[in-house]
Amino acid sequence: MKRITLLFLVSLLLLATTAHGQPVRIAYLQSDIHQLPCWVALEKGFFEKEGVKVEVAGIFKAGPELMSAFAAGALDVGYVGVAPATTAVANKTARVIVLAQVNTEGSAIVVKKDGKVQSIPELVGKIAVVPGYATVQDSLFRKALLKFKTEPDQVKIMVLKPPEMIGALRTDQIDAFIAWEPYPAKAVTMGVGRVLAASRDIWKDHPCCVLAADEGFLGAHLEKAKALVRGHVKAIEFIRQHREEATKVGVKYTGMDEASVRLAMENVNYTPVLGVEGEKEYVEFLTKLKYIKVDDIQMFVNRFMKPEFVNEIIKR
Amino acid sequence: MKKEHFLLPLVLILIWQGLSSLQLIPSYKLPSPLDIILGFKDLLTVGVPPGNLLHNHMLYSLYRVALGYAIAALLAIPLGLLMGWSPVLLRMTRSLFEVVRPIPPLAWIPIAILWFGIGIKSAAFIIFLGAFFPILLNTISGVLSIQPILLEAARTLHAKEKDIFLKVLLPGAVPSIFVGMRIGIGIGWMTLVAAEFTGVKEGYGLGYMIMTARDIQRPDEILAGMLVIGVIGLLIDIGLRATESKTIKWQ
Amino acid sequence: MREPHLSLNFLDLSKTFPGRGLEEGVHVLDQVSHRIENGRFVSVVGPSGCGKTTLLRIIAGLEKASEGRVLLDGAELLQGSEAIGLVFQEYALFPWRTTLQNIELGPEIKGVDKENRRAKAMEYIKMFNLSGFENRYPRELSGGMKQRVAIARTLIMNPRVVLMDEPFGSLDSQTRNGLQEFLLGIWERRRDTILFVTHNVDEAVFLSDQIIVLSKRPARIVKTFEVGLQRPRDRTGHECNEIRREVLKVLSEETK
């Protein structure tokens, strides 16, 4: 009896060490205030407190790049825009499952302060930049144009990385940009830009960033994934309850001044609850733009998003 | 075009297609040759981003390269001839060039954008940097490698400095100039695609097309685009070689 | 016929090439003086490396003498003077120019218009048996042809003095003999003044009116031979052999 117990304990120990041996590879987007829950969780050790060791395996300039890393098998979980994640999964280059929402809204279209363009229809024939094709901002921008009765083909849409957007706006090389916070806020505090339309003006409560996990990782380490989601939910609660401290974390990870970060956070709504209806709209929209081809939207979304993870936690 | 040229690539492609069909190579990592052909068809008919067709991407890229390359050649050839001819000039300018030359053209992108904005001028500038140095260095070497006895022969025929420059140095350096030009266009073409990765104003360009295909997660279009770029590079080199043999009949 | 009293005169020509660093300089010519009359074919022979080529290069203006002067018709010969032409041993043809273009280079530099210089060059092409090869490039020509082009290129300028630096040295003996006869044929019509450097005594005896023998470095003129034989000369004949023997005797003294 003693020997069996010993064997059992030893194997349990071994299992525990191997299970906890490999840190979870996590990635996020550079200077994107939407990712604040990730940074708070890292800073305050919320993942560790749930028993999961994480290591930052990548910091990316935009969603599509992060999805490429998933495709290459370099990541286990990522904080990323739901649109690039959808595109990657629909085009079968990456296999990820969305476990939780990170935020809704939190982007804005910015034009030159006192510039020629003071309304959306005036963007006809002008140059506007998005952080990448098939990003949340790309979809949002086109929705904004359509909402204000402007044809997207009539606007020159280009791609620039957000760090380059403010400089390009300032030197009049572009007429407008749409980016995630805190870039719009920074443009405003710098006196360079003016917000033409924020997320809530275009598509209220639209889903934005999500917490996605590689399918293979999810299959092999379900418990770890659940623990990560718990840590994630705790981070969001922390942001709600300790705004000032959270702002400081934002300043640390974006490298921007406190005024900009504070202004930015006002435009973002942090929530772990998945916006499934919003996702269906994305799929329809991306299909219309010919970026992806999805025949059964319901089936796709069911497979892609798993609200169970968060619902389990919230119920408690 | 000999048969042997195509044998090896054909065999490799067949093996590749076989492995892909058997699912031994996952399609999201490496699309099969068939996928790439279909992707190529999409590039031609649908375009990446949708609406921007392949031939327009090609035209814009070619135009940017032509501009940057032309300026590089127009500056580097005369400068190279002068630097090869005058040891004093060579000594004075050498250290400056030797410091700038190792800087990869791509490292200039942020500065190029500050100086020239995001448009054809900054792309042409990056290409200019890539093509300039090979042309310059090969021109200088072409001049320096002219047999001294030819210079003496010219002197015995009472050639003045101007004659020596135009009738000996220039024609004598032509083969090396061509070598430099071929290397220059090769580097220029490679640099263009990477330079376009940062974004182009007009919305067209082969590098931009590939970057977009990456954004919308279409590896088949990425590879098809890469092939287009490789083939164009090859055609440009063939074209230059043909011009070279037509011009240098004496070697 | 040229005036016989006009001539090329070099007086006390000395040349020392400066040494590198702490090395001593190389003393190549030591007070060489001689006078060559117009229309004469004069050869210079001497041990290898004695300075024959340096002598020619000084007269041609490619080197400067350390001491001494060169006079032409009593007046100082200026560097780069059009009165002097030089034929190199290695042909020195411009590879990117056709036969015709190589030959017309001199007149081209002088500024002669295209029609005239073409016509003149074609004359020389005929004269030098190069017809049919005027549009060929040097790489397509044989050694003998290349040297003919080189000589034609020099002679078209009608220099007062033609310097030739072992022009047939890189050719096989058959081609060499042929070219020697060819050169004599041309010379006998034009009577240029030729200063011909060679290390081949047979050649010197066959061609020249006068043979100058130089000592080993630093070179002085050891002896001059007048060769009064009628042309065409019998290479293997008794008289040529006599002179050859004499010259070789002097030379072998020098190479001891």
| Model confidence pLDDT, tens digit, residues C189-227 | 889 899 999 989 999 999 999 999 998 888 889 999 999
For residue C224, give the 3-state DSSP assignment: strand
CB contact under 8 A, B156 and C86: yes
Q: In the structure, what pLDDT confidence band is assigned to residue A17 with cuts at 50, 70 and 90?
A: low
A75-89 pLDDT per residue, tens: 999 999 999 999 999
Mean pLDDT of C70-87: 86
Q: Answer whether A309's CB lies under 8 Å from A50's CB.
A: no
For residue C152, is pLDDT > 90?
yes
With touching defined as 3 or more inter-chain CB pairs under 8 Å, the answer for chains C and B is yes
The answer to whether residues A57 and A75 touch, using CB atoms and an 8 Å cutoff, is yes
Q: How much is the pLDDT for B112? A: 85
Minimum distance, in Å, between the CA of residue B3 and any CA atom of chain A = 37
What confidence category does residue A16 fall into, taking pLDDT thresholds of 50, 70 and 90?
low
Nearest by CB: C88 against B153, B172, B174: B153
Contact C157 B251 (CB under 8 A): no
- Listed as ranges, residues in chain B with pLDDT below 70 are 1-2, 197-199
Is B28–A291 a contact, with Cβ atoms under 8 angstroms apart?
Answer: no
Subunits with 3+ Cβ pairs within 8 Å of A are B
Nearest to B58 by CA among B219, B196, B239: B196
**pLDDT for residue C75 is more than 90:** no
Angle (CA) A273-A274-A277 rounded to 5° is 130
CB contact under 8 A, B199 and A92: no
Q: Could you tell me if A85 and A286 are in contact, meaning their C-beta atoms sit under 8 angstroms apart?
A: no
Decide: residue A295, CB within 10 A, 0-12 exposed, 13-18 middle, 19+ buried.
exposed
The reply to whether residue A91 touches residue B27, judged by beta carbons under 8 angstroms, is: no
pLDDT of residue A49: 93
pLDDT score for B72 = 97
> What pLDDT does A21 receive?
67
Q: Which residue of A has its CA nearest to B198?
A: A160
Residue of C nearest to B151 (CA): C92
pLDDT, averaged across chain A: 89
ipTM of the complex: 0.89
Q: What distance in Å separates residue B118's CA from the closest CA in chain A?
A: 7
- Reported as a single tens digit per residue, the pLDDT across A137-155 is 998 999 999 988 888 888 9
Angle at C205 between CA C199 and CA C211, to 5 degrees: 70
Interface test with C, best of B143, B158, B247 (most C CBs within 10 A): B158
Q: Is B168 on the interface with C (CB under 8 A)?
A: yes
pLDDT at C131: 94
In the predicted structure, residue C57 carries a pLDDT above the cut 70 = yes
Instruction: Give the Cα separation of A92 and A72 in Å (integer).
Output: 12
pLDDT at C1: 47
Closest CB to C85 among B156, B167, B249? B156
Strand A268-270 to A103-105 pairing: antiparallel
Beta-ladder partners of A270? A103
Contact criterion met (CB < 8 Å) for B113 and A164: yes
Cβ-based neighbours of B161, under 8 Å, separated by 6 or more: none
**Cross-chain Cβ contact C139/B250 below 8 Å:** yes
Please, what is the average pLDDT of chain C? 89
Interchain contact C83–B (C-beta under 8 A): no
> For strand A176-180 and strand A107-112, is the pairing parallel, antiparallel, or unpaired?
antiparallel
Residue A19 has pLDDT above 60, yes or no: no
> Which chain B residues are within 8 Å of C154, Cβ to Cβ?
156
Pairs of residues, one from chain B and one from chain C, whose beta carbons lie less than 8 Å apart = 61
**Contact (CB<8Å) B201/A173:** yes
Q: What is the mean pLDDT of residues C148-176?
A: 92
Interface test with C, best of B146, B150, B157 (most C CBs within 10 A): B157
Q: Which residue of C has its CA nearest to B173?
A: C96
* pLDDT for the residue A20: 54
pLDDT at A281 over 60: yes
Neighbours of chain C (3+ CB pairs under 8 A): B
Pick A19 or C95 by higher pLDDT: C95
